[in-house]
Amino acid sequence: MTWDEDLDAIGLLCPLPVLKARKRLMAMAQGAVLLMRADDPAAIVDVPHFCAEAGHTLIEQHSEGTELRFLIRKGDSSA
């Protein structure tokens, strides 16, 4: 799958990965896809919850070693 923007949240702890994703998604067009990379174990819970609350779609979530990768499609909300 391809994505429109890449967000490196490696080394950031909760709630910073979600806050940075929210800020980046606000600047993106509806339907655009963000790849977010993080290594905070809390992101496994935080990112899906954020997507559900903000109206975005979590397309994919997987890990590569200690790195977590999330593909998020921006929903029609402004969050």
Domains annotated on the chain, with CATH: 5-73 (3.30.110.40)
Question: Catalytic residue numbers?
Answer: 14
For all residues of the chain together, what is the average pLDDT? 95
pLDDT tens per residue across span 56-71: 999 999 999 999 999 9
3-state secondary structure of 78: coil
Backbone angles phi, psi at 41, to 5 degrees: -55, -25
**Overall average pLDDT of the 6-20 stretch:** 97
Q: What is the 3 state secondary structure string of 4-16?
A: CEEEEECCCCCCH
Tell me what pLDDT residue 79 has. 45
Reported pTM:
0.93
Q: Residue 25 contacts by C-beta under 8 Å, 6 or more apart in sequence?
A: 34, 54, 56, 72, 74, 79
**Overall average pLDDT of the 6-30 stretch:** 97
Contact indicator for 72, 79 with CB cutoff of 8 Å: no
